[in-house]
Amino acid sequence: MAKPEKVLFVCVENAGRSQMAEGFLRKFAPHLDVISAGTKPRSQLIPTVIDVMKEVGIDITEQKPKELTNEMISQSITVNMGCMDKESCPALFVNDVIDWNISDPKDKDIEKIREIRDQIKNEVLNLIKKIEEQ
């Protein structure tokens, strides 16, 4: 089986979880192509998300929220971070999706965002392992 060309992390606003996942994958598997996107992207990342990623040595300040496209989906392994907004949930638009069901960091305190960050890190490391085993 051929290794995937791209990994796509999706959530509604593309301002927190999916951006953290993108940052972790870039760090731990730089040989993989990664992108994140959302169905209703915000204008910028959640500032506290940027801060907690810096705590673990990952700078995501240059990453920007992007709108999810069919082209992104068709060329990628797609991971849905979780959905709080059922009407805009990216999983509704993707047939073959991995769903992690991770809490949205929006409006959470820094300790909760750190927990979310660490959960995402573990999921990304497990995903990399599965991809490498293919």
3, pLDDT greater than 60: no
Residue 4 pLDDT > 80: no
Give pLDDT, residue 66: 96
Q: Are 10 and 90 a contacting pair, CB within 8 Å?
A: yes
The set of catalytic residues is: 11, 83
- For residue 91, what pLDDT is reported? 60
Higher pLDDT, 4 or 119: 119
Q: Which domains, and CATH codes, for the chain?
A: 6-133 (3.40.50.2300)
111: which residues sit within 8 A by CB, 6+ positions away? none
Whether the CB-CB separation of 38 and 63 falls below 8 Å is answered with no
Whether residue 88 has pLDDT greater than 70:
no
